[in-house]
């Protein structure tokens, strides 16, 4: 299986901060990466697909980049509603796998 | 807006079979380029893809669960279902159904999710 390793596991940040989360794949996955946001007790929602395409309805402060093995999710100016856990996911190589998650906490 | 809703028992005994159904509304399980997936999340842990089905009945399962998993589809009811046999406490999790949007080979993602249902395995 492709191992997806996110870093950091958690980050403390303030409203207005720029936050960057990294996801590294154990093998190259081209641009086959998606990012999700999950709030407590809720299902994940997709933010980014194809590494850098923003899902319809997602605020423009969210962006994604990368290809191959290294990917980044950036929140340009953290808002109160962005405190959540973020997951990356690949489907380039079977089976579909997720990263372990990155919790974004209030500083 | 596509909606998915999981239904089924919240408590299953060890060694028995977990059975869940996902009902899709404002969308069709018969649509091309969409797979219908099951994903689970143990309490306080990360996400694990279980498997998916296409409307023609083609399935793909996570090898880690393949020997115990069956996913089926009922296009007449716009539903798909999960069966997981011989469950243990390690199968306790929130189970989500989700629509898997296929963009191209090697590029797919989950664009709609159910709200999730907690299934506890306990005697």
pLDDT digits (tens, 9 = 90+) for A43-100: 999 999 999 999 999 999 999 999 999 999 999 999 999 999 999 999 999 999 999 9
Interface touch B46/A87, C-beta < 8 Å: yes
Nearest to B90 by CA among B43, B38, B21, B22: B43
Angstroms from B112 CA to nearest CA on chain A:
7
pLDDT digits (tens, 9 = 90+) for A12-52: 999 999 999 999 999 999 999 999 999 999 999 999 999 99
Distance from CA of A77 to the nearest CA of B (A): 24
DSSP string, chain B: --EEEEES-SEE-TTS-EEEEEEEESS-TT-TTEEEEEEEE-TTS--EEEEEE-TTS-EEE-TTTGGGEEEEEETTTTEEEEEE-S--GGG-EEEEEEEEEEEETTEEEEEEE---EEEEE--
Q: Which pLDDT does position B82 carry in this prediction?
A: 98
Residues of B in contact with A42 (CB under 8 A): 115-116
Q: Which residue of B has its CA nearest to A101?
A: B46
Instruction: Give bridge partners of residue A37 from the DSSP assignment.
Output: A45, A86
**SS3 call for A27:** coil
Q: Look up tokens 């154990």; give the residue.
A: A26
A95: preceding bond cis by omega (within 30 degrees): yes
> For residue A43, which residues of chain B lie inside 8 Å, CB to CB?
96, 98, 113-116
pLDDT higher than 90, residue A106: no
Q: What is the largest CA-CA distance in chain B?
A: 44
The answer on pLDDT for B106 being more than 90 is no
Distance (Å, whole) CA B69 – CA A9: 31
> What is the pLDDT at residue A107?
86
Residue of A nearest to B110 (CA): A46
Supply the pLDDT for residue B53.
97
Residues of B within an 8 Å Cβ radius of A = 37, 46-49, 60, 62-64, 96, 98, 100-101, 103, 106-111, 113-116
Tens digits of residue pLDDT in B39-84:
999 999 999 999 999 999 999 999 999 999 999 999 999 999 999 9
Would the pLDDT of B103 be above 90? no
Q: Do B113 and A43 touch (CB under 8 A)?
A: yes
Segment B7-12 shows an average pLDDT of 97
Contacts with B42 from chain A: Cβ below 8 Å: none
Mean pLDDT of B95-121: 94
Pairwise CB contact (< 8 Å): A100 & B46: yes
Interchain contact, A100 vs B48, CB within 8 Å: no
B49 and A96: CB-CB below 8 Å? yes
pLDDT band at A1, cuts 50/70/90?
very high
The answer to whether B113 contacts A50, with C-beta atoms less than 8 Å apart, is no
Q: Which two tokens stand for residue A77?
A: 């100016």
pLDDT at A103 > cutoff 90: yes
pLDDT at B107 over 90: no
- For the cut 90, the answer to whether the pLDDT of residue B90 exceeds it is yes
């Amino acid at each position: 299986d492709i191992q997806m390793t996110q870093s950091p596991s958690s980050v403390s940040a303030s409203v207005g901060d720029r936050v960057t989360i990294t996801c590294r794949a154990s093998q190259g996955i081209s641009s086959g990466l998606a990012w999700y946001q999950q709030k407590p007790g809720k299902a994940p929602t997709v933010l980014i697909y194809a590494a850098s395409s923003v899902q319809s309805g997602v605020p423009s402060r969210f962006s994604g980049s990368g290809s191959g093995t290294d990917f980044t999710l950036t929140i340009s100016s953290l808002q109160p509603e962005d405190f959540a856990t973020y997951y990356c996911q690949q489907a380039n190589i079977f089976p579909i796998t997720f990263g372990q998650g990155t919790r974004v906490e209030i500083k | 807006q596509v909606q998915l809703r999981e239904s089924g028992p919240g408590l299953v005994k060890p060694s028995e079979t977990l059975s869940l159904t996902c009902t899709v509304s404002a969308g069709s399980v018969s649509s091309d380029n969409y797979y219908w997936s099951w994903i689970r999340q143990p309490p306080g842990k990360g996400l694990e893809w279980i498997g998916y089905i296409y409307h023609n009945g083609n399935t793909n399962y996570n090898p880690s669960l393949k020997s115990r998993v069956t996913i089926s589809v009922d296009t007449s009811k716009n539903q798909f279902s999960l069966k997981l046999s011989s469950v243990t406490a390690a199968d306790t999790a929130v189970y989500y159904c989700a629509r898997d949007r296929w963009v191209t080979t090697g590029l797919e993602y989950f664009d709609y999710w159910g709200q999730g249902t907690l299934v506890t395995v306990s005697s």
